[in-house]
Amino acid sequence: MQRRKLFMNFVLLLSGNVLGQFLFFIGFVHLARVLGPQGFGVWNFALALLMYFHRAGEFGLEVIGVREIAREPSEISSWIAKIIVIRVILASILFTIGILLVIFHLIPQKYGTLFLIFLISIFPMAILLEWVYEGLQRLMQVSIARIAKGMLFLLFALIFVRTDMDIKQSSIIYVISLALPILFIFRIVWKEFGFGRFPLRSEILNTLRAASPIGIATLLSNYSLFLGTIVVGYLLTAEDLGYYAAGQRIVIFLWAYLINSLHRVLLPTLVKNYKQDIKAFSEFTISFFRRAVIGSFGFGLIISIIAPAIIVILYSSQYASSLKVFQYMIWAFVVAGIRCIFEISLIASDNQNRYLGGMIILAVLYTFLMPVLTLRYGITGAAIGSVISEMGYLIFLIATFPYLKFTLLLSHLWKPTIGLAAGILGVLIFSTVGWWLQLIISMSAYLLVLIFIKGISMEDCNWLVTLLHGAENEVTA
């Protein structure tokens, strides 16, 4: 029953995330085509800076809210009051910092105006209350709100962004498309749960203290995710940045919302498992890890092969220089998809400090590798830096995860790795044939090798059938 509910919650939230962000993504594709590589590069640099401010304004408070509501639903109104008050204070401080950065030219002038327009969105983000429904595992409202954001952005982009001179309008419509659904959800949550008493200073400080490891870790994660954009923006040309952003944007669409869906759906379940049964908690983690490795490797292989077609279909042939960026960065996403179960498990088990330590290591790897590889290999080097950094972080998590043995985790990694090597070998041998034939050959090699060395079991097949059958029953009901 837990698997079915978990699967349905994941499908529901993922559907809202993917559809909403797919609409956002189509809007981004429209901007890339209209603004051109140079304008699209400027737009993405300003947006990347905004993401740092958004994460700093969130500061792990939403994750704390989801966790605490999952533990004690009767305290919802109290958590709404505490989190909104803190986030409004943080938003005011961050908005002031952003203005000062532009005034003192710490942000290059060509990006400053767009950044300030984007920065207005930090205030509606401060009253974002989707996390309340996530904690209660009532995800229909969350999905609807996220679809609405994407729909508004795409609609406004198609109407108001017609030439490369409309770059300011594109940032304004981004802010509006975020704000309207946020205000709608805010009104619904306020009406249903109310607003608890204004928090005392001690409550604000205690909440910040509890959230700070997650908040800093999330900010570091965001720092790593968008550092390539910032480094390319400072070291290379705006046109190079446009090519880099086009390839990276596809990966971010998958990364930020597929992995984010996993975080938000799995967290309440893992919190309850940890509280009730440590053994079940550990078994769930290792089971998810093993299947994530198998699925992620196959997904990475597929996307790498069809990447040329994806770039041309989405952006047109003028963005051919984005291909290598996309092909390398998809493997950074693959690694991130594998390691996310460890991050969620650490948060669920109150190991925020260990999670923070891992994020510091990840940030250090990105900080060192990105400038060096970008200067040496250009935008391709920035993408390679992402892959190496993510692999280093995964190794750290496997080696230090407190609830499972290192050797046990490795035992579930080597068989899919052999299968992946067989798939890559198939691509290399048949590199001169069409991508569709490469896809058939490489995936056949991957799956056949996994079956031969017993990397896929009947239990995995039964698990998938159970989930799909459960989903079918839930939908029918």
* 394-408 tens-digit pLDDT: 999 999 999 888 888
pTM for this prediction: 0.80
Segment 401-438, tens digit of pLDDT: 998 888 888 888 899 999 999 999 998 898 888 888 99
**pLDDT at res. 156:** 94
Block residue for tokens 């004690």: 72
Highest mean pLDDT among 25-39, 212-226, 253-267: 25-39
User: Is the per-residue pLDDT at 460 higher than 80?
Assistant: no
Q: Token pair 């299968």 is at which residue?
A: 419
For residue 245, give every residue at least 6 positions away whose Cβ sits within 8 Å of its Cβ, in sequence order, or none.
Answer: 32, 40, 41, 44, 45, 229
The beta-carbon contacts of 2-7 under 8 Å, at least 24 apart in sequence, are 2/269, 3/463, 3/466, 3/467, 3/470, 4/466, 4/467, 4/470, 4/471, 4/473, 4/474, 5/137, 6/265, 6/266, 6/269, 7/467, 7/470, 7/471
List, as own/partner pairs, every contact residues 472-477 make where C-beta atoms lie below 8 angstroms and the sequence separation is at least 24, other chains included: 473/4, 474/4, 474/8
> Phi and psi dihedrals of 340, rounded to 5?
-65, -30
Q: Residue 223: CB partners within 8 Å, gap ≥ 6? A: 52, 363, 366
The span from the CA of 61 to the CA of 55, in Å, is 10
Output the pLDDT for position 1. 46
CA–CA distance, 214 with 341 (Å, rounded to integer): 15
Looking at residue 475, what is its pLDDT?
33
pLDDT reading at 183 higher than 70 = yes
Dump pLDDT digits (tens) for 223-275: 888 899 999 998 998 899 999 999 998 898 777 667 766 766 677 778 878 88
Query: Which has the closest alpha carbon to 41: 131, 167, 208?
Result: 167
Instruction: Give 93's pLDDT tier (boundaries 50, 70, 90).
Output: very high
**Residue 192 half-sphere exposure, CB side, CA atoms within 13 Å?**
13
Are residues 274 and 14 in contact, defined by beta-carbon separation less than 8 angstroms?
no
**Is the pLDDT at 378 greater than 90, yes or no?**
yes
* Longest Cα–Cα distance in the chain: 68
Rounded-to-integer distance, Cα 198 and Cα 16, Å: 32
Which residue in the block uniquely carries the two structure tokens 């900080």? Answer: 367
Which pLDDT belongs to residue 469?
Answer: 46
Task: Please tell me what DSSP assigns to residue 456.
Answer: S
Digit-coded pLDDT (tens) for 126-179? 999 988 887 777 767 777 888 888 899 999 999 999 898 899 999 999 999 999
The pLDDT-based confidence of 12 (bands split at 50, 70, 90) is low
Q: Mean pLDDT in the chain?
A: 86
| Dist. CA 233–CA 109, nearest whole Å | 12
What is the pLDDT averaged over residues 369-383?
A: 96
* 44-53 pLDDT, tens digit each: 999 999 989 9
Q: How many helices (H) and strands (E) does the chain have?
A: 19, 0
Averaged pLDDT for residues 87-110: 92
pLDDT score at 291:
86
Whether the per-residue pLDDT at 361 is higher than 90: the answer is yes
Q: Given this model, what pLDDT does residue 73 score?
A: 82
| Per-residue pLDDT, 474 | 35
Closest CA to 42 of 327, 236, 325: 236
Mean pLDDT across 439-452: 91
Structure token digits, residue 466: 């159970």
Contact indicator for 351, 285 with CB cutoff of 8 Å: no
Contact 397, 343 (CB under 8 A): yes
Give 324 or 318, the one with higher predicted confidence: 324
